Every structure is written in structure tokens, then in C-alpha cells.
Amino acid sequence: ESADVVVLGAGPAGLVLGILLHTAGIDCVILERASRTHVQTRARAGFLAPTTVRILDRHGLADGLHRHGRRHGTCEFRTEDGRFRLDYGALGHGGQHHVYPQQHLVTDLLNHYLGLGGRIRFRTEALGVHDTDGTRPSVTACEPDGRSTRWTARYVAGCDGRYGAARRSLPPGSVRHHAYDHGVTWLGLLAEAPASLDAVGYAIHDHGFAGHMARTPEVTRYYLQWERGTPADAWPEQRIWDELDVRMRAAEHGPLRRGRLLERGVFDLACDVVEPLRHGPLFLAGDAASLLAPAAAKGANLAVLEAEILAEALADALTRGDTAGLDTYSDRCLEHIWRAQEFTGWMTRLLHAPPDRDQDAGSFFHAALRRSRLASLRTSRIHQDWFAENYVGV
Ligand code: RFL
């Protein structure tokens, strides 16, 4: 089988790319390992940046977001020195987030793509991308019935995440892989409960970080810094809520609204960047290109931005033979990626004690630095503007 562009993965990156290519009249197909139900129900991100909303608006993909998403522009830090709020939507360039769960966005994008007549194969796992040294790459894939197929293409877009086939297929030595582990682990929770505060909550505590993020009126995301290696189900629900109360200082600032925990997942705050985001006719976008720790909510936003840049470049190449956009794709994206990595690293260090905190040396020093950094953020308008610009920007 064949298509001009074979897209691997139907997350935000793959779907935006598929829609824009299809709209530009490019023959493309999306291969997705998971089932349609799985793709439409996988809860992850929720905070969409103004750039993302502008991109979705530009292509008529933001109806659901405007109808059901909510604007959000406040975060609250809770520390041993009390709490303070930043109305980041009124600082910096005045940008706000839209809170709209990623699975709803993915559902909207998928419906749009299918409505256009776009081709997608669910439960079809890409096994490898081949012949990337030439001009006629191919993708081997495993179909739902276990048969294997080969797709030939002009270009392949790897939007299949960190563990996908695109990254695995890069020939050794063809790209550099910069990986960094922040040394911190989070337990991510989805609670069947309304938000407990009208802000993103970041709690800094001796026991470790705790976070609160709105999702929908019925569901709220919480995070607990978690000991690496401890399974997600190690604690009963009661203990998790009690610990959230302690770290969020509920006794001081008001109770958390408790509810059944719908989902738990443990993940390390590790990040990486592939450089360049291209090998011959194979291009990487989204998490396949760069993974970010979720501390600053950048991953889905970068995925959409990169998909738009790549779609334009591929359309220029395929319709006009103009490959200038493909040649600059990697550099353009890497600029945004490193900026997002830098801010995410800054947020990660703001929210967590360094992993060596139990070894006395340095721990007091680091705690003092963090306190001072928070004091600056609480009191300096310039620091706040910088924070706001980076917090909502991609
Ligand atoms: P996705 O969404 O992971 O989609 C990749 C798709 O590829 C499929 N796939 C394959 N298909 C075919 N063949 C193969 N061999 C395949 N291997 C994989 C997968 O089934 C999947 O459907 O990647 P994409 O499109 O690059 O999008 C990236 C975002 O999903 C990710 O960056 C964000 O979810 C990160 N993130 C957040 N980002 C934000 O911008 N704001 C947030 O608030 C935010 N919160 C989060 C997050 C990620 C989290 N997790 C995953 C740790 C919260 C959490 C808990």
C-alpha cells in the first residue's frame, strides 16, 4: 500500500498533521497502534496555550474547545511561608490557558479528520521505518489481524511518541539524543471531584511536591511527588487524600474536595530532545521529537505547533517541489523545544528539592535558594512577567 505521507500515531501531533495535509490535498494515512476508544479516552494534558488555540482556530479545529473549555489564568503557590497567587493571565503578554482535556481535543480532531474523509488505521502498529537513506521510505506495520503490511511513502512523519517506531528506526549515529533525568517521580491522579481551588495549585512541602489542576467540572488532576520505584497502588485512597491535605496545607488554606480516584499513574520527570528532528524523509514531531517533564504543561502544545510547521513544509514540498520548509523544520522547532525545556527545568527545580536532599550537604543551601526564588516571584513584578510569558508561551 502507499501514501505520499505516512503518519505514525494519532495523538495531537499526528491528528493535526493529518488534518492539515488532507486539507492541502496531500494523500496521507495515519497508522495508530491503539483502538479508537483508547485514543479517545486517554486522559493526559489539559492546559492549552494561546498559541495552540490560535493554531486550532486558524484551521477551524477549536469549536469544542470554545464551547466546553474554560479560560484559566491564575496559579497559587503554597509554601512554609504562606501562599501567594499569580494572576498570570494579567501579567507578561496577558495570555491565558484554555482548560480542555486532551482526550476531548483528540476526539474533536479525530472526528474532523474522519469527516474530511481522512484515512486512518486503528490497531495497526508501525514496526519500523525503512529506507530512510533514500527518497522512497517505507513503513512495516502489524495489522489488527496480525498480518504485516508495508507502506511506501514519499515522507514519513513520526508522531508516535517516545517509545514509537520512528525513534527506534533512526540509524545509529544519525541524530543526537540528549536525555536528562530530573531525578524526581510523580504519582499522577485523576479524582472524581470538582476542583478544590480556582487556580493551579503548586504546594512545596518537606514531604515533597503536591499539585492541583482543574480538568472538567467533575474531574480534577492531582500530583504527588512519589518515591521512585514505589508502585502506583501502594497507598490506599485515604492515605493519598490525607497526604494531599498535608502537602497542600488544607488545615490552613481550606479543605480539598475528595472523590473516588479514577486513575493513577507513576512517571519519572525525565526529558529528552532528538537533534535534528529529521533523518532524510523521516521527520519527528511531538513527544517523538522531544519529551518534556509535565511540570510546566508544554508537551501537547509543542506537539500542535510542530504539526502545523511540518504540515506546511510537507505541503510545499509535495505540491510545489519547494523543500525549503523541510530543510528548516528541525531548527525552527528546536528553538521552541529548548525554550520549553529550559522553563520546564526551572519549574521542576522550583517545585522539588533536589534528589540528594537527604544527604545533608547542600540540602539547607538548596532549600534556601528555593525560598529566595519564590520570594522573588512573590514580590518582583519583572520576575512575575517573565514567569507569565514563559508559563503560557510555546
Ligand atoms: P501522543 O499523544 O503520545 O500520541 C502518540 C500516539 O502514537 C501511538 N503509537 C503508535 N502508533 C503506531 N505505531 C506505533 N509503533 C506506535 N507507538 C505509539 C500511540 O498509541 C498514541 O496514540 O503523542 P503526541 O501527539 O506527540 O502528543 C504529545 C502529548 O500527548 C504529550 O506531550 C502531553 O500529554 C504531555 N502532557 C501535557 N502537555 C501539555 O501541553 N499540557 C498538560 O497539561 C500536560 N499534562 C502531559 C500531562 C502528559 C502526562 N503524562 C503522559 C505523563 C499530564 C500527564 C499525566
Q: Cα of 319 to ligand 1 centre, how many Å?
A: 30
Q: What atom of ligand 1 comes closest to residue 298's alpha carbon? A: 40
Residue type, 93: H
CB within 8 A of 20, min separation 6: which ones? 59, 307, 308, 311, 312, 315
Would you say the CATH fold of 182-270 matches that of 5-46+101-175+276-345?
A: no
Contacts of 323 (CB under 8 A, 6+ apart): 313, 316, 317
Tell me the pTM: 0.95
- Selecting among 104, 112, 182, 298, the annotated active-site residue is 298
β-pairing verdict for 5-8 and 28-31 = parallel
Give me the residue spans of the domains in the chain: 5-46+101-175+276-345, 182-270
At 367 the pLDDT is 84
Report the DSSP pairing between strands 119-121 and 28-31.
Answer: parallel
Report the distance separating Cα 338 and Cα 390, nearest Å: 12
| Residue 202 annotated as catalytic | yes
Give me ligand 1 centre to Cα 138, in Å.
24
Q: What pLDDT, on a 0 to 100 scale, did the predictor assign at position 85?
A: 97
Q: Does ipTM come in above 0.85? A: yes
pLDDT digits (tens, 9 = 90+) for 2-37: 999 999 999 999 999 999 999 999 999 999 999 999
Which candidate, 123, 174, 141, places its Cα nearest to that of 10? 123
Q: Report which secondary-structure segment, H or E, holds 188.
A: strand 176-191
Kindly give the number of the ligand 1 atom that is closest to the alpha carbon of 299.
Answer: 32
298 among known catalytic residues: yes
> Domain 182-270, what fold?
D-Amino Acid Oxidase; Chain A, domain 2 (3.30.9)
User: How many angstroms separate the first and last alpha carbons of the chain?
Assistant: 37
pLDDT tier, 153 (very low <50, low <70, confident <90, very high otherwise): very high
Query: Which residues have CB under 6 Å of ligand 1?
Result: 8-14, 31-34, 39, 44-47, 102, 125-126, 159-161, 164-165, 188, 267, 286-287, 294, 297-301, 303
Can you tell me the distance from the alpha carbon of 367 to that of 373, in angstroms, rounded to the nearest whole number?
10
pLDDT in tens, 331-389: 999 999 999 999 999 999 999 877 665 556 667 888 888 999 999 999 999 999 999 99
Ligand 1 atom nearest to 265, measured from its CA: 55
Strand 5-8 to 155-158 pairing? parallel
Catalytic residue list contains 72? yes
Q: Whose CA is nearest to atom 46 of ligand 1?
A: 45
* Whole-angstrom distance, CA of residue 363 vs CA of residue 360: 5
The DSSP string of 25-40 is T--EEEE-SS-HHHHH
Fold of 5-46+101-175+276-345: FAD/NAD(P)-binding domain (3.50.50)
> Across all residues in the chain, what is the average pLDDT?
95
